[in-house]
Structure 1
Amino acid sequence: MTRGRSCGHCPGSHTGERPCLATATVKAGAWLLIEHPGPWPERVEDLAGPGPVADAVRAAKKAGVRPQLIRRPGRRRATPPVQVYAGSSRGGDAWIEGRELADPAELAALDLDALAEGRSPGLGERVAEPVLLVCTHGRRNACCARTGAPLARFLATRFDRLIWETTHVGGDRFAANLVCLPHGFSYGDLDEAEANAAADAYLRGEVALPRLRGRTGLPEPAQAAEHFVRAHTGRLGVDDVTVASITGIPGTTRHEAVVLLKRSRYRVVVEAVRQPDPCGTDCGENQRTYVVRELTLLNEAALV
């Protein structure tokens, strides 16, 4: 895959140099993934219905759960059976469970309110292996299909059944996008080598800082604070760093975070600034990025 990507929605080009820090989808803390070979509508909630998959998608959105349609790279198997995953990327206990449903009507039995609160919806056993999502949602944005589909096929040659194509994950201007579940680490503007490195890191239980957009479900300033502490300390373990609090500083575009790292506690002040528009203003998405203004070690011994 080469750089210099453009499409009808993004009239300029993506160079891989655009800041993607703290751009992961804020509202995606609980997930419902449903195998659906397509076609995919522009918005998943507009999936043709009534039908059990369409009903489950709309019920998930109403409950505050992020629904994603998924399918295998390069293949469009007829369904049922339908592979379904449910998981939570919030807090310190990220998890995902899944099974194949012989009848999609079984989706109606899921407790989506429990899932929204970070509890099992009653789908099945927890899954030990990660689920790696590559956005290929061309109906939403042509860049996602043009860059995401070949990336998904490439990753599938190495990571096989861990890889799924998926609908919109946010951040079209960062295509190709990768989301690593259950923790929800999101990467953008990836080429094959960068995506391969990100997936390898996640299988080791780590994050890869280059092209890391952030952790889904966290406010953007919290994503930035976590990133800056990881960069400062070199701690890359998926569970090494926790944002304990994030507070806006009145009258400014700054936020103050307290970030925990094992026995250490950091105070981090980040500021939102506007980034350039190399792909033009038609992306229609958040153009902020963040810079660190203060990063202070508060203590090393108080936390166990």
Structure 2
Amino acid sequence: MTLKGCTHLEGCHTGDLPVLASATVGARFWLLIEHTGPWASQLEDCRLPDDVHTLVKRATDLGVRPQLIRRPGRRKPPESGVHVMVADSTAAEPWLAEGVVAGPHDLDLDALVAGVVPESCILVSEPVFLVCTHAKRNACCARIGLPLARSLAEVMPDRVWETSHVGGDRYAANLVCLPHGLYYGSMSQAAAIAAADAYRSGEIILDRFRGRAGIPEPLQAAEHFVRAHTGELSVGGVAVESSRSDGDTTEAFVRGSDVRFRVVVEPMTLTTPCGTACADTITTYRLVALDRLTPVRYATPALT
């Protein structure tokens, strides 16, 4: 079997090509399942215990993104039960919870999609970092992702996991920061450590930042351009308030710190140097207009 991948031509997987506005749109809720492998190209084709297959199917049916995870380096499976983590990336206050369940029906995924922590899990305060190393999907994810995951785990040994396909092989190596669902692509080891450190401090680094999962790509682009314009890097410091599309053009009204902006973006296609190995082209976005509007006005508390 020939694995999809590339020969690392100049500009490919190096951060030279734009990665903005490419985070996985459908990933609003997450289910991470520890399974040491091996991983087939598609999750449904993996040789998994029946309980894990059932969890993957239930999650998919409910619109929860399932991911297989394993520790970098030597791997020791859980002694009993199934180790899981769940996350809500688009809540007002995104959260992450963890637990060990005896079977698939011991994990209340309906609660997750309702924004409630399942009873079998407990909230965790530390973030989790996922590095895609899914070789059967794309050889580059393993070739670049494996050493990145191992080096990141040396710095944060309890918070880093290898994971199955997260979307965007052409952007390998991919890093996902949970619970907020922040995506980074074309990561070097130094860039990954910097991004993880920034996230632990509540900030984003724009270099190699793909966007935030669960948000339409044009709105990811609008947020990106406001951050680049204002220098606002706090995770929650920029947010789209409303938007409308006219053909390929999207107009968004974005809050950035204490100022609102009108942002207009359009998609554009770039040819990659990788040829057909990872992707012939990538779709990114260009800024058409960015207008500063009135400051954000907050209600003044009534005097007592």
Q: TM-score, normalised by structure 2?
A: 0.91
Q: Determine the structure 2 residue equivalent to 1:203.
A: 200
Distance 2:214 2:296 in 1: 29
Cα deviation digits, residues 156-183 of structure 1 (max 9, x gap): 1111111000000011011111000000
Q: Residue 294 of structure 2: which of 271, 294, 299 is its match? A: 299
Cα deviation digits, residues 268-304 of structure 1 (max 9, x gap): 1111011122212453587210011111121114245
- Alignment check: 8 A CA contact 1:11 1:280 kept: no
Cα deviation digits, residues 62-116 of structure 1 (max 9, x gap): 1100000001100221333433110111143211111234x3x1x3222223323
Distance 1:191 1:142 in 2: 16
Distance 2:105 2:142 in 1: 30
Change beyond 3 A, Cα 1:50–1:100: closer
Deviation at 1:132, TM superposition (A): 0.4
Are positions 1:213 and 2:213 aligned together?
Answer: no
Q: Given residue 219 of structure 1, which amino acid in structure 2 is its aligned partner? A: P
**Cα RMSD (Å) of the superposition?**
1.8
Change beyond 3 A, Cα 1:301–1:217: closer
SS state at 1:198 partner: helix
- Alignment check: 8 A CA contact 1:179 1:185 kept: yes
Q: Which ranges in structure 1 are unaligned for 5 or more consecutive residues?
A: 1-6
- Alignment check: 8 A CA contact 1:201 1:208 kept: yes
SS state at 1:274 partner: strand
- Alignment check: 8 A CA contact 1:263 1:303 kept: no
Q: Which ranges in structure 2 are unaligned for 5 or more consecutive residues?
A: 300-304
Q: Determine the structure 1 residue equivalent to 2:100.
A: 100
Distance 2:105 2:199 in 1: 32
Cα deviation digits, residues 20-55 of structure 1 (max 9, x gap): 111111100100001000111111122335611111
Q: Residue 267 of structure 1: which of 262, 267, 274 is its match? A: 262
SS state at 1:151 partner: helix
Cα deviation digits, residues 172-197 of structure 1 (max 9, x gap): 01111100000010000011111111
- Alignment check: 8 A CA contact 2:232 2:257 kept: no
- Alignment check: 8 A CA contact 1:90 1:118 kept: no
Are positions 1:147 and 2:156 aligned together?
Answer: no
Q: Determine the structure 2 residue equivalent to 1:124.
A: 121
Distance 1:255 1:57 in 2: 34
Distance 1:196 1:49 in 2: 32
Q: Determine the structure 2 residue equivalent to 1:85.
A: 85
- Alignment check: 8 A CA contact 1:95 1:126 kept: yes
Cα deviation digits, residues 7-29 of structure 1 (max 9, x gap): 74335631320111111111001
Q: Residue 181 of structure 1: which of 178, 183, 206 is its match? A: 178
Are positions 1:9 and 2:9 aligned together?
Answer: no
Q: Determine the structure 1 residue equivalent to 2:302.
A: none
Q: TM-score, normalised by structure 1?
A: 0.91
Distance 1:287 1:207 in 2: 23
Q: Determine the structure 2 residue equivalent to 1:3.
A: none
Q: Given residue 288 of structure 1, which amino acid in structure 2 is its aligned partner? A: T
Cα deviation digits, residues 230-253 of structure 1 (max 9, x gap): 11111111111111223212xx42
Size of the aligned set, in residue pairs, is 293
Q: Determine the structure 2 residue equivalent to 1:39.
A: 38
Shifted more, 107-116 versus 121-130: the winner is 107-116
Q: Given residue 125 of structure 1, which amino acid in structure 2 is its aligned partner? A: I
Distance 2:273 2:229 in 1: 28
Q: Given residue 287 of structure 2, which amino acid in structure 1 is its aligned partner? A: V
Distance 2:22 2:256 in 1: 22
Are positions 1:290 and 2:285 aligned together?
Answer: yes
Change beyond 3 A, Cα 1:127–1:209: same
- Alignment check: 8 A CA contact 2:271 2:281 kept: no
